[in-house]
Structure 1
């Protein structure tokens, strides 16, 4: 799967997004082994989760440093996404979601959320950061 990652006005965000897309590709590559060996997908999910924690912290620091007015809304979305990804990762590690659910989340829901988050919240945030 090749994803077209939207570009934003702040380079560290673009670099982080590119890295996240690579990690998402790793998750997709591990999908076929999920039923027999969930550990590979669980590890890929953990890497994606950890990267997003670090990325969100960098974004939040930049938002605070530039006085981004809707910072609380963007931070709340980060917290919601991290909770969702952490719950999903824990489930994968336990082997609890069925393969259809895992395929749907990794193949559709996470990529859709990722692109939408960049196109909406990150686009506006990056323009603010770049101009302040």
Structure 2
């Protein structure tokens, strides 16, 4: 399977999000290219980045009208938990488990970025959210009720 590479198809037009996503793609490529000795440190770096990445997006969602248990944040929690499990596998299974997870992360990330994150980027632009300082410049555009889905029209609310 070819490695995931950053491309315009992953860019969402929100610099803070695009930069974080590009870092994710680069760290995932480092995991995929790692030999056995470098694999676990590369995976740990990816897990640490992903924790910060998801925490930041989750904070943006909370600041702009998403319910705490929205499906986008829940997907973040599940994926991060699975990634952490790679580090907890039995020693003899750990490298294979991490390599398999890395292979599965690439197509998941493309789908996630092009659906849930694209909807979030659109939502953030619609309320004129400044990710650098966490300011909503169009508070009148915030949703009247908390968003429980992912923010996409294709995502039905829970």
**Shorter-chain-normalised TM-score: which range?**
0.7 to 0.9
Gaps of 5+ in 1: none
Question: Which residue of the partner structure matches residue 18 of structure 2?
Answer: 14
Q: Any idea what the Cα deviations from partners look like across 1:63-115, whole Å, max 9, x if unmatched?
A: 111113696211110100000100013338x342464x554432x31111111
**Would you tell me which structure has more helix in proportion to its own residues?**
1
How many positions carry a matched residue from both structures?
Answer: 123
Gaps of 5+ in 2: 128-158
After superposition, the Cα gap between the structure-2 partners of 1:49 and 1:125, relative to the gap in structure 1 and judged at 3 Å, is same
SS of the counterpart of 2:118? helix
Give the TM-score, by structure 1 length.
0.81
Contact 2:87 2:98 in 1 (8 A): no
Give the TM-score, by structure 2 length.
0.69
Contact 1:64 1:71 in 2 (8 A): no
Contact 1:27 1:45 in 2 (8 A): yes
Q: Does 1 or 2 have the higher relative contact order (CA < 8 Å, sep 6+)?
A: 1
Structure 2 residue 114 is the aligned partner of structure 1 residue 119: yes
